[in-house]
Amino acid sequence: MRVGFASDHAGFELKEKLKKWAEKQGHEVVDFGADGTEPVDYPDFAHLAAVNKDSWERLALICGSGIGMSIAANRHTCIRCALVTSNEHARLARQHNNANAIAMGQRFTNFPQAESYLKTFLETKFEGGRHQKRVKKINKI
């Protein structure tokens, strides 16, 4: 699977660890930055990943809290990003919401947690059925 990654400076270290983990699992990694810990603006990287939707199948966004990245990404109609703070969130984001992106906060998520959330997110399938009509309603406005 092609997995996109983007972060700001506050999520850079966790992003780099998750990229290495994903590569070891056999995933193709696409990195949209940031490239270090110098302060940058998270919307720039969320938007860059979103407008390049054709280059990834799932997306992981990391900033300090995960909130800013998820808000910025969800401004794009092609993105359904869930802020994930548990494996249950990661599972339900896929099963019920057909999320194609997750956001995590480096300040609140350690690497073993983030690895587990990402693994769950990548392995879980969308259930469709009754959830499909709900997902279709998301971009009606």
DSSP string across 79-124: --EEE-SSHHHHHHHHHTT--SEEEEETTT--HHHHHHHHHHHHHP
Query: Helices 111-123 & 12-24, crossing angle to 10 degrees?
Result: 50
Residue 30 clears pLDDT 80, i.e. is over it: yes
| Confidence (pLDDT) at 101 | 98
Q: Which CATH architecture has domain 2-137?
A: 3-Layer(aba) Sandwich (3.40)
Residue 141 clears pLDDT 80, i.e. is over it: no
- Mean pLDDT on 17-25: 98
Rounded to whole angstroms, the Cα distance separating 94 from 111 reads: 21
All structural domains of the chain with their residue ranges:
2-137
Residue 138 clears pLDDT 90, i.e. is over it: no
Catalytic residues: 63, 96
Rounded to whole angstroms, the Cα distance separating 49 from 6 reads: 7
Rounded to whole angstroms, the Cα distance separating 128 from 138 reads: 14
The mean of the pLDDT values for the chain is 97
- Residue 46 and residue 73 in contact, taking contact as beta carbons nearer than 8 Å: yes
Give per-residue pLDDT as tens, 37-93: 999 999 999 999 999 999 999 999 999 999 999 999 999 999 999 999 999 999 999
| Confidence (pLDDT) at 137 | 87
